Amino acid sequence: MIRASDTLRMQIEAEIGRGSLKPGDTIDERSLSQRFDVSRTPAREAIMQLAASGLVRMSPRHGAVIAEISAEEAINMMETLVSLEAEATMLAARRLLTDEISEL
């Protein structure tokens, strides 16, 4: 079962990806909880998860601020993602059954 904080984190990540939330924008647990109709606890957890991943920076007296990602960081993230997807594809291919292979 997916936790509310994980769902909220994914929604915020999507907004960052679309450009709805831009570097320098602030987010806070109260506005997130109202906007997404969740309690403040999942909103706080989502912000902490985003901070741990580097998408959000915690700033004294400003709260959580959408981080600016450098070109080098973006390239590193994409390289990591490509490696993980290749590994997942290889593992999935090893587990295919003969019937599934013929369907493909």
Helix (H) or strand (E) holding 58: strand 56-59
What tokens does 88 get? 């997942």
Domain boundaries, the chain: 4-66, 71-103
For the record, the structure tokens of 32 come out as 């997130």
**Cβ 46 vs Cβ 52: under 8 Å:** no
Q: For residue 1, what pLDDT is reported?
A: 81
Distances (CA, A) of 25 to 12, 43, 66, 97, 101: 12, 16, 5, 48, 47
pLDDT for res 30 = 93
Q: What span, in angstroms and rounded, lies between the C-alpha atoms of 101 and 55? A: 39
What is the fold, at CATH topology level, of the domain defined by 4-66? Arc Repressor Mutant, subunit A (1.10.10)
| pLDDT, mean of each 10-residue run, the chain (104 residues) | 90 91 93 93 95 90 88 83 91 83 76
